[in-house]
Amino acid sequence: MKQALESIRTEVLEAIAAADSKAALEEIRVQALGKKGSVTTILKQMGKLSPEERPVMGALANEVRAAIEEALGARAEAVAAAELEHKLAAERIDVTLPGKASPIGGLHPLTRVLNELKEIFIGMGFSIVEGPEVEYDWYVFEALNMPPEHPARDTQDTFYITDKILLRTQTSSVQIRTMEKQKPPIYIISPGRVYRSDQVDATHSPLFHQIEGLVVDKGITMADLKGTLQLFVNRLFGQDCVIRFRPHHFPYTEPSAEVDVQCFQCGGKGCRLCKGEGWVEILGCGMVHPKVLSGCNIDPEVYSGFAFGIGLERIVMWRYGIDDMRLLYDNDVRFLSQF
């Protein structure tokens, strides 16, 4: 029996030393120390020994079992470390390799020019406010001195949600919302989307953008309006930019004007861009109508103001030489990546 135990010890320890996985070690453990294992089988035969032999063999058997258990434990640690190392080597990532570059987008030309415009007006002390695109008839028309039968409404046909709620046709609605909330002095611009029933073509879209401006303060005159707009076009188009004020009519300003810029392309001689006129229209403006002021509880005897509305798309098209407005909405990367 002693012989048998010794040879089990030698064999099993050798097998453990050669094992290179957790599974192999477990198999060895079962074969040696399991219920039917070689060491266990020998222990079961202890009963047959003489009382003198029994403690001696018992001690030896325990020694062999302890040696095997210790060897199993040590080898298991070594195997685990080797397995980890192998795994790390296999999954190694070189963090110094250059990454896969994802293409970086840019700002849409409409956003670029709008940002420029905002900068210009912020520089003059204006703040930026926003208004809703789904708006009450009251703010889009009625409070702007356009009662239900006013003919100017026809040219600004839009999508009606109810009789009283519609997609706004002009950012002028924000004038009223601002004056309702805020007492003068008021110096604001309000950019945003507006909607009109228009067929899509190279110069029309049922959705486009405007920037509304409103100033209300004591002692504001037409000279302030002209000075502000002259400074604005100089900042936007350069010092040489020539503008003219052409009398016009808007129900919410009195007097009213449209402002033209001398054609960028031909310098005023007349070309395709300006349709032979030498001038292109850039905005509508005027002195805020006293009825509009008093409708917002601002005393027109104390305060006066001016307002203007600029279309964003045309400016962007001039700025970048874009000849078809649809390009601004197509979201074609070949077009957009040029900016």
**Chosen residue from 37, 191, 295, 309 binding ligand DAH by CB under 6 A:** 309
Distance CA 122, CA 32 (A): 86
Q: By the 8 A CB rule, do 137 and 175 touch? A: no
Per DSSP bridges, beta strands 165-167 and 186-195 are unpaired
Interaction between residue 176 and ligand DAH (CB under 6 A) = no
The interface region with ligand DAH, picked from 68-76, 83-91, 219-227, 284-292 by CB under 6 A, is 284-292
Angle (CA) 34 36 38, round 5° = 80
Tokens for 115, please give them. Answer: 């940002």
Question: Which CB, 83 or 157, lies closer to ligand DAH?
Answer: 157
Question: Which CB, 37 or 286, lies closer to ligand DAH?
Answer: 286
Angle (CA) 36 41 46, round 5° = 150
Q: Least CB distance from residue 163 to ligand DAH, whole Å? A: 22
Interaction between residue 253 and ligand DAH (CB under 6 A) = yes
- Map the footprint of ligand DAH across residues 101-160, applying CB under 6 A: none
Q: Least CB distance from residue 191 to ligand DAH, whole Å? A: 13
**Chosen residue from 158, 170, 190, 205 binding ligand DAH by CB under 6 A:** 170
- Map the footprint of ligand DAH across residues 33-52, applying CB under 6 A: none
Q: Helix and strand tally (H, E) in the chain?
A: 12, 9
**Chosen residue from 195, 250, 279, 318 binding ligand DAH by CB under 6 A:** 250
Distance CA 124, CA 162 (A): 39
Q: Least CB distance from residue 286 to ligand DAH, whole Å? A: 4
Contacts of 83 (CB under 8 A, 6+ apart): 21, 22
Interaction between residue 212 and ligand DAH (CB under 6 A) = yes
Question: Which CB, 72 or 257, lies closer to ligand DAH?
Answer: 257
Question: Which CB, 212 or 237, lies closer to ligand DAH?
Answer: 212
Contacts of 231 (CB under 8 A, 6+ apart): 124
Tokens for 163, please give them. Answer: 């009789």
**CA 232, 168, 299, 253 torsion: positive or negative?**
positive
Tokens for 13, please give them. Answer: 């320890």
Q: Least CB distance from residue 338 to ligand DAH, whole Å? A: 29
Name the CA radius of gyration of the chain, rounded. 43
**Chosen residue from 38, 145, 158, 172 binding ligand DAH by CB under 6 A:** 172
Q: Which residues bind ligand DAH (CB under 6 A)?
A: 170, 172, 212, 250, 253, 284-286, 307-309
